[in-house]
Amino acid sequence: MSEAGKNPFDALLDQIRLIVREVIHEELTANSDAIQCDGDAGLVNAEKAAQYLCVSRAWLYKNANRLPFAKKVGGARRFDMQEMRRWLKGR
């Protein structure tokens, strides 16, 4: 089909797609900056780590032996925020 015979809804749909992509990109960029600059350095408990990673605490404990950012501190599990960020970026 030629440009002249193109459905007007296709052009509108293209514009909507472009706007949605831009909004998603802006949100992801803003969230990434907020996460990296929130001042959370060091070790956090399982609840905060699970919230940050969007997983359950049970999942964290179950997989702690395979996660490079999971540490054992005096019998308690703690999770290194800086290593979590690196791990997420590498995935």
Looking at residue 17, its amino acid is R
Instruction: Give dist(CA 51, CA 56) in Å, integer.
Output: 8
Hunting for tokens 């997989």 — which residue is that? 63
* pLDDT band at residue 5 under the 50/70/90 scheme: low
Question: pTM of the full predicted structure?
Answer: 0.55
- Mean pLDDT for 43-48 is 94
Instruction: Give dist(CA 68, CA 77) in Å, integer.
Output: 12
CA torsion sign for 91, 82, 32, 54 is positive
Q: Which residue has the higher pLDDT, 71 or 90?
A: 71
